[in-house]
Structure 1
Amino acid sequence: MEHKQHKLKTEMATKLRDALEQVSDERSFVEFLAHLATDWFTEAEIEATTPSSPYSSGALGWENGSIGSFLEASCAWANASTKGLKYYTSSENPWRRAADILMAGKIYE
């Protein structure tokens, strides 16, 4: 079971990262949102049957399980990264920047 979950986690992460990297306009942003939603719902299904420790991220890496905590983390990361970070250069494309902000909401604490 653990190998199956690891494979799923890798596949989901790859699809989500690929969708993020393709964001350049409204259509690609909406496609990214669809992948992000699928990632969240897939994790919710996994967590319903095999919950992760309450002290770690979820099975697919979600740190923020509620819409409130997700939006709060997205906002905090957006404010912290306005001028870029050590491993992040802020995109000049507003669609990509918005996608980066939402992606960060998944993992930022």
Structure 2
Amino acid sequence: MKEVHEVLEEVKDEESFLAFVKVLIADRVPHEGKPTDEACFTEGWANNTIADFLESAVAWAEVSDFGLRQRGELADNKWKQFAVFLYCGKIYE
């Protein structure tokens, strides 16, 4: 199975977006119910509650102009832009 970041790079349309979300879900399941601590972060999930996940995604979007400051090509691929938003909910603190 591909890593989340690998599938993220393939997002170009709604089908590939949903494939990304499925991989993100599969990556998340082993972390459900675990406390937020150093071990969780090292496994890639900086945010363990949905509120923290969404707050981090929004914080990333606000700081990065929804990713356009980091990856200008996102302007032409809204599916990937939203996938990156979700991915940043996972990793952004």
* One-letter amino acid of the structure 2 residue matched with residue 99 of structure 1: A
Shift of residue 61, structure 1, vs aligned partner = 1.2
Number of residue pairs the alignment of both structures matches: 88
For structure 2, the 5+ residue unaligned runs are none
Alignment-derived partner of residue 71 in structure 2: 89
Q: Which residue of the other structure, out of 26, 29, 32, is the alignment partner of 2:20? A: 32
> What amino acid maps onto 2:30 in structure 1?
T
- Using the TM superposition, give the Cα deviation of residue 57 of structure 1 relative to its aligned residue in structure 2, in angstroms: 5.4
Residue identity matched to 1:66 = T
Alpha-carbon distance in structure 2 between the residues aligned to 1:39 and 1:70:
14
Query: 1:60–1:27: structure 2 CA closer, same or farther, 3 Å change rule?
Result: same
The SS at the match of 2:3 is helix
Cα offsets for 1:78-105 (capped at 9, x unmatched): 1111141xxx214121000001111011
TM-score by length of 1: 0.71
Q: Larger radius of gyration, structure 1 or 2? A: 1
Q: Which runs of 5+ in 1 are unaligned?
A: 1-10
Q: Tell me how large the CA RMSD over aligned residues is.
A: 2.1
1:44-55 matched pairs, under 5 angstroms: 44=32, 47=34, 54=37
Identity %: 35
Residue in 2 that maps onto 1:20: 8
Task: Look up the match of 1:100.
Answer: 84
Deviations 1:48-98 (A, max 9, x none): xxx77x2x25152101001111011001101111141xxx21412100000
Whole-angstrom distance in 1 between the partners of 2:82 and 2:31: 22
The match for 1:70 among 36, 53, 62 is 53
Secondary structure at 1:61 match in 2? coil
